Structure 1
């Protein structure tokens, strides 16, 4: 039982690629020692029993410099027992993107609609959502939602009062603001749920349909989807958490700062307790939005994510065709007063892009996913980790990937 697991953890014998070149471009010289340093970072996490598995891809220009799948797509079951016949991680595995959904799907959709002049960044949200055309909320703009400065609550257990998309939209519209509009950045899932409502209002299409037809198909992202189990055809999916133990703690444990005044944690008890594999981890997306949200819910592969990154690095091109204008791309990837872009993070103090050059943009996902793009060096780093499958620590938290992410970007910048 344990020998096969140890073999995969120590060797990670899936895929290793140095300097893969496109047919039109010959390989650039690479220092094996530098790649070894990057590789050892992931290997140490596996041998230290910190993560079950991972996929990493580093690309510069048209060349994939480093690409590898490590460990297992699932190591433990819901009883925290080692699987007897674990599945090795591959480059083809779908990962629950968590909050990468915000930039991969929602932000890109808003980019496209802005580029097509169907939406203005400084349009009031109330123009599209009547519940926001009030004296309290009528100053909130699309830009505020993208920059997390709309004054919305950072989080709310929507499933206590909503069980589908329309009920969710109504509930968010009823919630009072928690902070002054435009005065500070308070990272909020609710803002990106509202952006999905705007996308649906403008496009007259469900969010998942708009993303598939207008974003993913044109980019060739054929393995990016919501609810992969319902859609069918996807057999390789990395497992995440065993139910929603941390999110339950967010409701019950007031010390975390997420509890809602007047809400009895015991009034709802639909918590999952089994291992999630193909079901989105995010509770609001799963319980209150049937797996589809502007804040979370997308599953994807490293190859598909690279296609989106390539489009952004080429200032809106898909091959030789212009998909989004350079002007719009630059609007979204310019720092605001909060030291971030629109949707994308650009703060060089963030561990995922610590000390990276000006213009670097990135985002992370709670499940363990991350994308970092360094335009100055024409380089990108995609790391997909299903850290939650290891379970909660004794302190009731998931393993902190911040130090690893910081070391990875430091190693990549030396390549």
Structure 2
């Protein structure tokens, strides 16, 4: 398919999402091997009449893309610099984790387990209702019961990437935001990327795509967690209920503050699991680390290759190191589960998504990388995003032939 046809396909896909009210606007960057990159922006930054049009410089809350744009490369750089090993026990670097529930099992959690979401830690907890700061979060995670033994299953866990962020700060003796700026953003020319944009002189002047009006979606998540505790007659339920009912939930439209409540309320906007803001242009610059031999940030190519491969066996869903792995090439259960990158990716493809409506998928067999930034959480969280996202990826990747084919 020629470039014009691909541009029209991307425009059509974004326009469909806008017309369905899934998001007010979006920006897409597509790179194909040995061809100029394609950039398409459609719609507005927000739902208001006076909102500006989306451009490649519109600043988006990347949500969980933070995991692969900050935490993953910093862990890999830490391996290169001899500061840690992927096989290290997490308790070696964070001894506080072994001071709570199930010390013997928690000592078996390795860094690679956190990276592949196979640690046995639960997916999410509303810790922000009860405490804030690294030490409080470490204490609360230490008190959590394991939901399975390390390496047995895959459960996507924010808690695991919070711990990875804490580990990075320990081994480098520096704040995570400063590490990311020094080792990733500045060398890559990512001048419009960072945590806490309201306190960042450059980012503060950007057009920032708004998020949800208040946080009713995450409040509902907290309520569901408490209902589960109450149904199980868990003695902790009353404390969580009181904390939830007395909490000062945000009410206004969120713009320039991280949407994720644990990152915002609990960790001052900076975490290994969420908190990063960036633009389409800068995320494209970041992906050179994974796709270009002359990237200014050099991570050993064998380490990059290892990180991009599926590592969790027959577990569902299929995970690489940090990244989500393509379901293609997996078991029938994994294929049936699918992946956020759609159905047409090769078994070598890797990617990730962010809850706010962001995604990266790269397929070496097609020689293509696709970045999509939207704010599907504005003005409310739209649940049709997952179906739109898979169709979006299917339509665009199907237009790109595998490398070496005519």
**2:78 aligned residue (103, 113, 116):** 113
Alignment equivalent of 1:151, drawn from 91, 101, 120? 120
* Runs of at least 5 residues in structure 2 that lack an aligned partner in the other structure: 328-337, 401-406
The reply on whether 1:264 has 2:240 as its aligned counterpart is yes
Verify the 8 A CA contact 2:22 2:384 in the aligned structure 1: no
2:281 alignment partner in structure 1: 303
Please report how far the alpha carbon of residue 162 of structure 1 lies from its aligned counterpart in structure 2 after TM superposition: 1.3
Residue 44 of structure 1, CA deviation:
1.8
Give the corresponding residue for 1:17.
Answer: none
TM-superposed deviation, 1:153? 1.2
**Separation in 2 of the partners of 1:326 and 1:38?**
31
Change (3 A) 1:218 1:88: same
Tell whether the 8 Å contact from 1:250 to 1:258 is kept in structure 2 after alignment: no
Q: 1:335 to 1:284 in 2, by over 3 A?
A: same
1:241 correspondence with 2:209: no
Map of 1:318 onto structure 2:
295
CA 1:346–1:325 in 2, change beyond 3 Å: closer, same or farther? same
In structure 2, the partner of 1:345 is 324
Corresponding residue number in structure 1 for 2:360? 371
User: Where do 1:187-266 residues align within 5 Å?
Assistant: 187-234=156-203, 235=205, 236-254=207-225, 261-262=236-237, 263-266=239-242
Alpha-carbon distance in structure 1 between the residues aligned to 2:6 and 2:54: 23
Query: How many Å separate the matches in 1 of 2:184 and 2:270?
Result: 16
* Distance (whole Å) between structure 1 residues aligned to residue 210 and residue 308 of structure 2: 32
Residue aligned with 2:38, SS: strand
Q: Using the alignment, how far apart are the partners of 1:257 and 1:221 within structure 2?
A: 43
Indicate the larger mover: 243-252 or 156-165.
156-165
Structure 1: segments with no counterpart, 5+ residues:
1-28, 76-82, 393-397
What is the aligned partner in structure 2 of residue 78 from structure 1? none
Which residue of structure 2 aligns with residue 122 of structure 1? 87
Q: How far is the alpha carbon of 1:84 from its aligned partner?
A: 3.9
Q: Root-mean-square deviation (CA), in Å? A: 2.0
Cα shift at 1:257:
6.2
Q: Which residue of 1 aligns with 2:65?
A: 100
What TM-score does the superposition give when structure 2 sets the normalisation length? Answer: 0.87
Deviation of 1:62 (Å): 5.2
Give the superposition deviation at 1:179. 2.1
Which residue in the other structure is 1:359 paired with?
A: 348
- Paired residue for 2:377? 388
Q: What's 2:334 paired with?
A: none
Give the Cα–Cα distance (whole angstroms) in 2 for the partners of residues 96 and 255 of structure 1. 28
CA distance in 2 between partners of 1:225 and 1:162 (Å): 24
| Pair 1:290 & 2:279 matched | no
Q: C-alpha deviations, 1:225-269, integer Å up to 9, x for none? A: 000011122221100111111110011135996988524334241
Correspondent of 1:405 among 378, 383, 389: 389
The one-character-per-residue Cα deviations of 1:277-311 (angstroms, maximum 9, x if unpaired) are 11000000000001010000000011111112121
CA distance in 2, matches of 1:182, 1:148: 9
| C-alpha contact 1:165 1:290 (8 A) present in aligned 2 | no
Q: 1:86 offset after TM fit, Å?
A: 1.9
**Native 8 Å contact 2:326 2:345 kept in 1:** no
Paired position in structure 2 for 1:55: 27
> 1:162 is matched with which residue?
131
> What do residues 107-132 of structure 1 show as CA deviations (whole Å, max 9, x unaligned)?
11101111222211111111101123
Counterpart-to-counterpart distance in 2, 1:136 and 1:36:
53
CA distance in 2, matches of 1:212, 1:34: 34
Q: How far apart are the structure 1 equivalents of 2:194 and 2:7?
A: 32
Instruction: Provide the aligned length of Structure 1 versus Structure 2.
Output: 372
Is residue 353–residue 360 contact of structure 1 (8 Å, CA) maintained in 2? no
More off after superposition, 278-287 vs 36-45? 36-45
Q: Confirm or deny: 8 A CA contact 2:340 2:353 kept in the other structure.
A: no
How far does residue 356 in structure 1 lie from its aligned partner after superposition? 0.4
Residue 136 of structure 1 aligns with which residue? 105
Structure 1 length normalisation: TM-score? 0.85
Quick one: which of 142, 163, 174 aligns to 2:143?
174
1:186 aligns with 2:155: yes
In the alignment, the residues of structure 2 paired with residue 362 and residue 388 of structure 1 have an alpha-carbon distance, to the nearest angstrom, of 20
Residue 90 of structure 1 corresponds to which residue in structure 2?
Answer: 55
Secondary structure of 1:39 counterpart: helix
